[in-house]
Structures are given as C-alpha cells and as structure tokens.
Chains A and B, each alone.
Chain A
C-alpha cells in the first residue's frame, strides 16, 4: 500500500481532515525520513519541535470540529531564503549567522539569523494548516545552479549521490524528490526552481512575476525573483500555488490579478491548445537523449489534440549575457544591506573605523560566487560602464521579452527542455563560473520576460556505465498569468509519459 506521505497533496490533506491519519503521525513520518536521509544534506534546519507543535494544533482544530485548511497537516519544506519566525534563516550564507569576532564564524546554520516576521508565503502556508518541517539547503543567496555554493556544504541528488540536484533551490527539490516532505517552496530568479525540478524528476513552478508575494524573501534580483512550489505531481504543486498566490499589501509588485483555479485546471482536456516549439532551444549543447524525450512528450500532446507550431525566439542566445548583467547589478545593490550593522555576522576590527568593519564583515561573510557577482554588478553599474553594460542589457531584455510577446500571438504555450543536460557531477563546474552559468540557458529568457513557467518530468534517460537512469524535465512557458493553462498541459504530460522507471529514487 502506498505510504500516505507519497500520495498527492490533496489526498494527504483529505486524509488528515477525515481523521484517517493524524497530522502528528504524518509529520512524524516526514521527520523520520528526513532523519534517515541526512546524507543528502537537503536541510539546513529541521524544525522538529515546531512542526510537531503545529501538527498537534491542526489535530486539535479538527477535534474541535473546525474546518481545516487546504494543506491540513501536509509536511512542507521551506527554502532558507524565506523568513520564518520560528526557525533560523541563513540564505545559505555565513553572513546571516550570528557568531562574530572570531573570523571563523558561521559554520553552523543553527546559529542563523532569526527574522522578526514570517514571509507572506510562509504565513499563508501556516494559514492553510500546512506543517513546516524545516529550512532547505541552497546556493548562497540563491546564486548558483548546483547547490554547491551553499556555505554549509553541497546538496546531493537522490538519484545519484555523486551528482548535484541543480540549484539554487536544490534542497527544496531534493526534499520532495526523496519523499522527505510532500511539497516545498523555492525561489526562481533565473531557473532556480525549474532546473532543480528537472534534475530531480519532480514538478517545479516559476509563477508569473507578481503572482506571488516576495515579502520576506531575501532579495537577490528584485525584478526577477519569484517564489514557487515543488511537488511530485502537478495537482499537488497547483494546490500549493493556490495557497501562496495573490496580492499582498506588503509587496507593491504583487499583482491584483485573481488567483486561478490551478488544481481544477489539472485534468482538463488539452485538445485545441497551440504549442510553440522554438528551434533555438534544441541546438548545440543539448543532450540528445533530453531532446528526444522532450520531442516525444510534444508528440504525445499532439496526439491528444494539441497543434504544434514552430515559433522564433531569435534573442534566446543573448539571455545569459543579459541575465548576468541585470541580475548581478540588482544583487550588488540588494546585498549592500549585509554590512554587519543590524543583523548577522559582524567582524569588528580591534582598530579601525566603520569602513573597515564593512569590508572585513563582507569579506568573511560572503562566499566566492557571491563576491564575484557583487563585483560584476558593481562594475556594470559603475561610472563609465553603465551604458555599455547595464543600459545595453536592459535593452536586450526588451528584445527577449518581445520575442515571447510575438510568439504568444500565435501559440498558447511553448514547450522546450528545462536543462541542456541531466544532473551533472558534484565538482564538475564549480571552478568554472561561466560553464555553471550556461546550465541556465533555457530558463533565463522566461525569467527576464517575467512570464509563467514550469518544469514537469517527461521521462528518464537510460542508465549508462557511469551513471544510473536520470530524470528529464519538460519546460512549459506561457504568457503572464497563464498558469492554469500550464497546469492543464503539465497534467497531460504526466498522464501521457507515465514513467517507466521508479517515480522516486531508491532510499
């Protein structure tokens, strides 16, 4: 019999609401699995006591006869980029840890910053009676595509522990892929939800910019950052998205567009939907097995009544350069707040002034990739280079956005690979920042355009002599606020490409 923790989230919540299983028992199951899979390093903090207390509160609420929320008792993991009142928040960085003055501080995320408030998405999960089981490991400040830039050590891919799960939301993806939690939240600035979802064989959603509040998300690149869910199937991800979406007075960029019926959209017919296929996403550098798997999923949709059309996204190849200028410029400004004054790490020199404290604190607190991006962002914004880099990139961003606008005049959604390669080896790209950036080639353009995107598993690459079978993700892109349509297509892809191998990696 299927373990309740492996059922789709709507069924888990229904079982808790009906009293089939207590929220405490479901939470204990998740905590037990987290304990058994410590080696994956998916979590920076396991919120054992807080989770059991909130599960007990859900059970008490039920005992009183009150109606339970849409995520009643469901164990959810939270990326450590999101502020939580009852758990430390480090964003994968030493600079958000407390022990100061010794210069070697910050090796322990348990000594992380304690936010005085919950992120809006966290508060909304609590309001829906979800049980928050812990904070997940991530690339420092969400800068990375492998999880290896975490200041606290890398995350491992459950399909092959010598490989990365992708990033930056690697811990959140692994928590779900390995069945440690039913769902999780990540954040996606250039692919940080979609790419790890693809590499771990689960569903990951990057909502339209403005769909979900960013209040309480540690800012990386404010014009790109979006919070979104991971789950093992599209219906489960849809349920989480319904809970966290909607306008928020605390985030003026959150949109007042009504929240869609995402869960109900899963299972609707796809007949008549027009799918665009841009050849720019199938060129050099794409793993042939991934190309075949993605094309086969597109053919399956066609057999279900979708129509398939070539579309042109000619500025795709400029996505990486544009992104790494825009995102680093915004990051260099956002990360100025980490200066040792108000929270986190402080290195106070015995002699010296405020400037010395800033310089030493930031040098001790930030890891190499964060420093690299702060320097790059500062450079492209600096006097004499602003026009050639930052202004140029903002104009290129317009061209990339116009590509999508034009394509969506003739198609309802675009289907492409999420990642050019399957999960890569730990250490493979870590010394070559540019090769790491290239891992995001297919996810960056949609981030720059601010449109809706998700990654859904569409097959497994066959095992080879040097690696086991690894999952492939299909990326579906839609116009702004077309999440319902993407869920309809994703649910169809799940139905049509039912995996031949195990849906979960062996524990």
Chain B
C-alpha cells in the first residue's frame, strides 16, 4: 500500500519524532512495504470474532490500597538530565 509523505510526517508528529529528510523517504518506503504485507489480514473474515487484548489467564488481582514505601525524591531524580527544586526541569513552555 502506498503511503504518502504527508502521512509519514503526520504520524511522526503524533509520535514526537523529528525525522531528518533522508529518513522520511526511507520510512515512507518501508512503511508502505510493511503495510502492504499486513494488509493480507483483510482476507480473514473476522466479523463475528471477539478481540483478544491480553492473554493473562486469571483476572485482575486486587490488593489493599495501603501506603507503602516508594522511591525517595533523590532516587527518583538520580537519572534526570536536569532537575531543580526537587523536580524534573524542562525548557519553559508557558509564556510569562
């Protein structure tokens, strides 16, 4: 299935990926080939088939909603590229 350059750019934007120009061409070609292949599923009649979203054999277990120890603030921040005031620091995104 052919997929347009615009579609690749739209999906890349949704996925927060800033692709280089050369990558866009490559992805357009590869995604087209892969989608053409997966379109083979269309031949399956699935009108009356239920969806399988997970295969966990048992249901969802419940537990007491109690307070438990968690990571200390400094542990949570130890891998942060930038932190300040006990939180993760990011570039400003609200105009003052």
Contact = CB atoms under 8 A, between A and B. Distances in A.
B27 to A, nearest CB: 6
A344 B79 CA distance: 7
Interface stretch (A74-82, A151-159, A187-195, A247-255): A247-255
A357 interface: yes
Contacts of A114: 78-79
A52 B14 CA distance: 47
Interface stretch (A61-69, A177-185, A198-206, A374-382): A374-382
B44 interface: yes
A208 B56 CA distance: 9
Given A341-B88, A346-B82, A372 B55 contact: no
13 contacts: A208-B57, A252-B61, A321-B37, A340-B81, A352-B91, A362-B15, A375-B15, A393-B41, A395-B46, A395-B49, A401-B55, A433-B33, A449-B55
B80 A343 contact: yes
B90 interface: yes
Contacts of B57: 208-210, 255, 257, 450, 480-481
Given A396-B44, A434-B33, A375 B27 contact: yes
Interface string A303-345: 0000000000001001011101100000010001001111111
B55 to A, nearest CB: 3
B84 interface: no
B51 A371 contact: no
Interface of A: 98, 100, 113-117, 208-210, 223, 249, 252-253, 255-257, 315, 318, 320-322, 324-325, 332, 336, 339-346, 348-349, 352-360, 362-363, 366, 368, 371-372, 374-376, 378-379, 382, 388-389, 391-399, 401, 433-434, 437, 448-450, 480-481
Given A342-B79, A399-B46, A249 B26 contact: no
B17 interface: yes
A480 B55 CA distance: 10
Nearest to A373: B34
Nearest to A397: B52
Interchain residue pairs A-B with the least CB separation, the first 5: A450-B55, A359-B18, A343-B79, A346-B81, A395-B46
Given A116-B71, A353-B93, A397-B52, A325 B58 contact: no
Contact of B14 (A249, A371, A382): A382
Interface of B: 3, 7-8, 10-12, 14-20, 23, 26-27, 30-31, 33-35, 37-42, 44, 46, 49-58, 60-61, 63, 71, 75-76, 78-82, 88, 90-93
Given A100-B81, A253-B54, 18 more contacts: A98-B81, A315-B44, A325-B41, A340-B81, A342-B88, A354-B90, A356-B91, A359-B18, A362-B16, A371-B27, A375-B11, A375-B27, A379-B3, A382-B10, A389-B41, A396-B46, A397-B52, A448-B52
Nearest to A390: B51
Contacts of A318: 40-41, 44
B4 to A, nearest CB: 12
A93 B68 CA distance: 32
Nearest to A363: B18
B12 A375 contact: yes
A394 B52 CA distance: 5
B15 A391 contact: no
Given A375-B8, A375-B11, A256 B80 contact: no
Nearest to B43: A318
Contact of B31 (A223, A252, A375): A375
Contacts of B93: 353-355
A342 B80 contact: yes
